[in-house]
Structure 1
Amino acid sequence: MRILSVGGTDFVQAWKNMGHHVLSMGKGAGHDVPLEHLIGPRELWEILSARDFRPELTVWVDRCRPLEVFGLERLPGVVVGYSIDQYCNPWHVPYSWAFDLFLVAQKDYLKLFWDPRAWRECRWFPLYCRLDMDRDPGMERDIPVSFVGTLNPPLNPDRGPFLRRFRQACPTIVQQGAYAPIFGRSRIVINQSVVGELNFRLFQAAACGAAVLTEDVENGLREAFVPGEEILVYPRNDASAATRIAQEALADPERLGEIALRGKRRVQRDHSATVRAREIIRLAEDLQASGAGSRRKNGMRVVREHLLKTYASLATDKEIPLPPEHRRFYAEVARDACLETFG
C-alpha cells in the first residue's frame, strides 16, 4: 500500500517493515519531504505528482501544532486523522470532517466529535510507546521514584505544586529532557497529567520497566491497564495519597517488581507504535473496501463547511502562538473555503 504520512513519524518505520511504500511529510528532521513553510492544496499535489506518488492511504498524526499541510480531504484513497491532544486543540473537532476515519487518543472526548450528519467514523485510539526507544535496559534500579517532564507547563498549573508536596515526603528525582535513561533505572515513575488524560509518559515508563504511579482518571484508563496489577493509581492531585502509595510499594519490592513486569508486558503486547500501525492498516483496508473515500467526496460541501470553521479558528484564536504570516495564510484558506462553499 502507498501511504502518505503527514506530521508525526512514529508509525512510519513499522509500515515500512510491513512492506508498505511510505512517503513522510512534515516539519523537522526525519521526513522524506521536510517542510519549511505551510503547504496549500496545489503545492501538495505538485509535490506528490513530482514523485509520482498517488497515495492509497493518507495518515495525519497530530504533533500538537497548528496545521502545516492543507488539502488532505481532496486526496484519493482513504484519509485517516489521529488527534493526540484534542483536549487543548478544539479545532480538531471541525477538522475531523476532512477524514474518513478520525482517531481520538482520549476516550472521553469522543462525544465531542459525534454529529448526526457524519459519515466519517471516530473511535478511541489510545497513545502508545515506541519499543525502539522505550525499553527496559536491565540495569540496577537505583532510583526509587522519578519524574521526567515539563515542570511548569502553561496549561497545567497543578503540576509544580503537586510535585513539590510529593517530594517533601517521598524523595524523587525530577528533571526535564531525556526520559528513557531515568525511567530505565527507576523503581517507580510518578505520572501527572494536564486534564486527566492518558499521556505518553504512562506508556513510556511502563515500557522502560518502571512501575507507574499515575492519576486515577477516566479516558479509558481501566481498559488500557489494570490498576493494582499493571499500574498503581492515586486520586488526582492528592499528593498525600500518592506519597503513601509510593512508600507502601517501595516497602514491598517483590510486589512492586511484579506490577512493573506486568505493566511492561501489557504495553509490549497492546500499546506499542507497531500495534497501532497495524491497526491503522486494518481499519484503512476495511474503509477502502466500503468505499469510504467516495462518501467523503460526495459530502465535500459539508467537509468545506467544517474546514472553514477550522481555518477561521486558527486564524483568530489569540491563545495559539502563531507568527502573523501563518495567521494570514489561515485567513486566506478560510476565505477560499468560504467561496467554494457559499459562492
Structure 2
Amino acid sequence: MTKGGDSGYRLAMTVIRKLCFIDPKPQLVAAAEEAGYELLLLRTGKQPFFDLAAALDEHGFEPELVMQTETLADRTIVTGLDTVDCPTMFWAMDPHLNAYWHSAYARLFDVTCSTQRHWIPRIKRQGATDVRWLPIFGRAEPWKPMAERQLDMAFVGRITPQRPARQWMVKFLREKAQGHTLSIEDNLTYTKMMELYGDSRIIPNESIFGEVNFRLFEAASCGCLVMSQDLGEEQEALFEPGREFDTYADVVELDHKLSWYLDNPRLVQAMGMAARERVLSEHLPEHRLARLVSIASEATRCRVTGVEVSKWETLTAVAMWEAGLLVQPVKTILARLADLDQDGDIVAALLRVQSGAKLNKAMSDNLKVILTNNICCDVLDVNLAGSMAALRLDEWDWAKSFWYRHLRSGPERRLAPPTDKFSLLTLWAKELKRADRVVRAGFSFNVEHHLPMSATDCLMTILSEEPEHLPTLRLLDTMLRPIMGLEQARVGFLSILTLFERTDWRLALEIALANLRSYRLESGLEELELAQSMAREQGQESLFRKALATRDRAGLLSRHLAKG
C-alpha cells in the first residue's frame, strides 16, 4: 500500500478483477460474470454476525474488492473486515429507513455507498469519511408498444394499515380509473411484477420518506410512464421530468396530470420509450458495477482498526437490537459493551440498552456514577440519554443536572430553566432540532422501552401522557412540516388542534395541504375551501392567497378555489 492522504492509505490496486460480493443483487452478479470478473459470492443468511476472514480462508479466495449489499429481510454484521488487504464497501439500500444504524456500520468500511444522495449526511453523522451516491438500477426489458398493453395504470406495493397514505392513494386510483383499466397488487414475485409493468402504460409512484425508490427504475425499464412525487434535484438527475417521467406535488396535481396522460396515449408512449432508453444508457447493472469498481480503485483505507473495530461492531449491534432487527440476548449485548473503553458513545449506548431491557436498578447505579464522576460531561448523547433515563426513573434532579451539563458544554445561552417533565422534554426537542436530529426515520419509537434520542421522540413522549397537549402538537407539526412522508401523521395532529382552534384559517390550510399530499382529494379540497372561507370572514383573504401561492406550485389549488 502507498500513502494516500491524511485519512489513511491509498489501496494500491490499479486493476480490480477478483470480487467478493456479500448478499449481492442477482443482476449485479450477472453483470460481473458477463464482464469476466472472478467472483466469490457469500450469503449471510440469518446469522447476526458473519465471519468474513473465516469464509475467505474456507474458499481460499484473496479478493481485490469486498462489497456487502444491505438486504431487506435479514440484518447481518460482517466481522473481520479489518483483516482484508483490499477495499471494503457497504451498499446501503434503504438509508431512508436505516441511517440510524448505517452511520455506525459505515465506520467498519472504507467506502459506504448510499442509494439516496440526500441521506449521505445522516450516514456520515458518526464519523464515516467516504460516503458516495450509488443509485439502484433497472434492467434491459423488452419493449411492448402501448397499444398492445392491457392496463392503463398499475401499482405494485405493500398496502397495510401502517401506511394509510398508500391506502388513500389506492382508493384515489380506483376512483380515478373509472372507465379505464387498473391493477393494484401487493404480493407479486419480482418476475410477475415486471410482467405486469410490461403490460401497463402509467405507473403512479409513492415513496416512504421522499426516497428515489426501486419502482421508478423497474417501471421505467419496462417503458412505462412513471408518475412520481416531486423529489427535487436528486430524482431529476436520474430521469428528466416532462420527458422521461413526470412529477406531482399533491393529489390534485396527480389527478390533473393523469387525466391529461390518459387522454394522450402517444405522449405516454413517447415518454415511456424515453425512460427506457435512459435506463439502457445509464441505469443498468453493468453501469453500477463499473461505478462501484471505479470507486473502489480510488478508495483510501479509512475503515477503523484495532479496538475501534469492536466498538463500532457493538454500536451497530446496539442500534439494531434497539430496533428489533438483531436477535441477541441482552446479556450478550451488555457483555460486549462492558469489554470496551467507556467513551461517550459507549456510555450512551449502555443507558439505551439498560432502558430497553428495563434494568432500572443498573441504570440508576449507572447514572449516579456518571454524575458523581462527571463522566463525558460535554457529550450530547450522554447528557441526553442520562436526562431521559433519569425521567424514566422519576429522578427529577438528575434529569435537570444532565440538561445543565449539556448547556455548560456549549456556547453561553439564556434559556428558561425547566420547571417540569414536559418543559424539559420540550427544551431537549428544540436542542435536537438545532442539531438536525428531528426524527429517527424508520425507527419505531416505543415510549415504554426506548430513551428519546430525537426531537420527535421527546415530543411523542409528552403526547403519550397528554395526547391533547396543544403546545406540543403545534411544535411537532412545525418540525414535521418540511419532512416528506410524514403528512399522514400531521393530519392526525392537526385534526386535534383544529378541534380547539376552529377559526384559525392557517391551521385549516395546513390540514388541507397535508390531506392533499396524503392523497385525500375530497377531504383536502373541503378543508381548503373552509380555510378560504375563514380567512374571508376575518378580512384576511389576501393573506390566505399569498400563503397558498407559496405552496401551490402549479396553481391548481388557486384555480379550484376560483371556480367555486
Supply the AA of the counterpart residue of 2:21.
S
- Structure 1 residue 331: deviation in Å? 6.5
Per-residue Cα deviation, 1:194-233 (whole angstroms, up to 9, x for no partner): 1111110100001101111111114711111111111011
What residue in structure 2 maps to residue 86 of structure 1? 95
- For the pair 1:47 / 2:55, whether they are aligned, the reply is yes
Tell me the alpha carbon deviations over residues 246-281 of structure 1, each in whole angstroms, 9 at most, x when there is no partner: 120121222221111111111111111221011111
Aligned with residue 195 of structure 2, among 160, 163, 181: 181
Query: Within 1, Cα distance between the matches of 2:113 and 2:331?
Result: 27
* Rounded Cα–Cα distance in structure 2 between residues aligned with 1:333 and 1:121: 28
Aligned to 1:71: 79
TM-score (norm 1): 0.83
**Alpha-carbon spacing, 1:153–1:208, altered in 2? closer, same or farther (3 Å):** farther
8 A Cα contact 2:225 2:272, kept in partner: yes
Q: Is the 8 A contact 1:189 1:212 kept in 2?
A: yes
CA distance in 2, matches of 1:219, 1:306: 33
Calculate the aligned-residue CA RMSD, in Å.
Answer: 2.5
Residues 56-100 of structure 1, C-alpha deviations (whole Å, 9 max, x = no match): 211111112453252152233110111111111121111111111
How far, CA to CA, are the matches of 1:20 and 1:334 in structure 2?
A: 42
Find 2:253's aligned residue among 236, 241, 246. Answer: 241
Q: Which has the higher helix share?
A: 2
Matches within 5 A, 1:225-304: 225-235=239-249, 238-287=250-299, 292-293=300-301, 295-296=302-303, 299-304=305-310
Distance of 2:161 and 2:231 partners within structure 1: 20
Q: Does 1:205 align with 2:248?
A: no
Question: 8 Å contact 1:142–1:186 — kept in the other structure?
Answer: yes
Asked if the contact 1:106/1:219 (under 8 Å) is kept, the reply is no
Tell me the amino acid that sits aligned with residue 280 of structure 2: Q
Partner SS for 2:25: coil
The answer as to whether partners of 1:48 and 1:54 remain within 8 angstroms in 2 is yes
Are the equivalent residues in 1 in contact too, given 2:149–2:199 (CA < 8 A)? yes
How many pairs were matched up?
Answer: 316
Structure 2 CA distance for partners of 1:305 and 1:54, relative to 1, 3 Å? same
Match of 1:99 in 2: 109
Q: 1:304 to 1:38 in 2, by over 3 A?
A: closer
Distance 1:308 1:219 in 2: 36
Which whole-Å CA distance do the structure 1 matches of 2:121 and 2:198 have between them? 37
The change in CA–CA distance for 1:338 and 1:208 in structure 2 (over 3 A counts) is: farther
The CA distance in 2 between the partners of 1:40 and 1:137, in whole Å, is 44
Name the structure 2 match of 1:122. Answer: 131
| Bigger Rg, structure 1 or 2 | 2
| Whole-angstrom distance in 1 between the partners of 2:253 and 2:274 | 23
CA distance in 2: counterparts of 1:158 and 1:91, whole angstroms = 26
TM-score, length basis structure 2: 0.52
Q: Write out per-residue CA displacement over residues 259-306 of structure 1, whole angstroms, 9 at most, x where no aligned residue.
A: 11111111111111221011111111122xxxx23x435x54445433
| Deviation of the 1:184 alpha carbon | 0.7
Residue among 131, 151, 162 paired with 2:159 = 151
Whether 2:5 is the aligned partner of 1:4: answer no
Q: What residue ranges of structure 1 are gaps of 5+ in the alignment?
A: 28-34
SS of the residue corresponding to residue 188 of structure 1 reads strand
8 A Cα contact 2:46 2:76, kept in partner: no
Alignment counterpart, residue 323 of structure 2, candidates 317, 322, 342: 317
Change beyond 3 A, Cα 1:117–1:69: closer
Tell me: CA distance 1:341–1:272, structure 2 relative to 1, closer, same or farther (3 Å): farther
CA distance in 2, matches of 1:22, 1:162: 43
- Describe the SS at the equivalent of 1:158: helix
What is the rounded CA distance, in whole Å, between the counterparts of 1:279 and 1:247 in structure 2? 39
Cα deviation, residue 339, structure 1: 2.5
Candidates 168, 186, 190, aligned match of 1:161 = 168
Change (3 A) 1:219 1:108: farther
Give unpaired runs (5+ residues) of structure 2.
1-16, 344-564
- Structure 1 residue 241 displacement after superposition: 2.1
Partner of 2:67: helix, strand, or coil?
strand
- Per-residue CA deviations over 1:89-142 (Å, capped at 9, x if unaligned) read 121111111111111111111111235954x410111111133xx443557122
- CA-to-partner distance for each residue in 1:168-216, whole Å, 9 max, x for gaps? 1234211131211111111111111111111101000011011111111
CA distance in 2, matches of 1:338, 1:203: 45
Secondary structure of the equivalent of 2:281?
helix
Higher RCO (Cα < 8 Å, 6 or more apart): 1
Q: Decide whether the 8 Å contact of 2:53 with 2:80 is kept in 1.
A: no
Of residues 27, 36, 61, the one that matches 2:69 is 61
* 2: CA distance, partners of 1:331 / 1:189: 48
1:266 aligned counterpart, secondary structure: helix
1:251 to 1:179, Cα distance in 2 relative to 1, 3 A: same
Cα 1:78–1:66 change in 2 (3 A) is same
CA contact (8 A) 1:128 1:272 kept: yes
Contact 1:72 1:79 survives alignment (8 Å): no
CA distance in 2, matches of 1:281, 1:255: 38
Q: Secondary structure at the residue paired with 1:220?
A: helix
What's the counterpart of residue 555 of structure 2? none
CA distance in 2, matches of 1:223, 1:334: 45
Amino acid at match of 2:168: P
Distance change in 2, residues 1:200/1:40 (3 Å): closer
1:77 counterpart letter in structure 2: C
Aligned counterpart, 1:191: 205
State, as a whole percentage, how many aligned pairs show the same letter.
22
Q: Residue 196 of structure 2: SS of its match in structure 1?
A: helix
- Which structure has greater strand proportion? 1
Q: Is the 8 A contact 2:139 2:279 kept in 1?
A: no
Q: Is the 8 A contact 2:46 2:74 kept in 1?
A: no
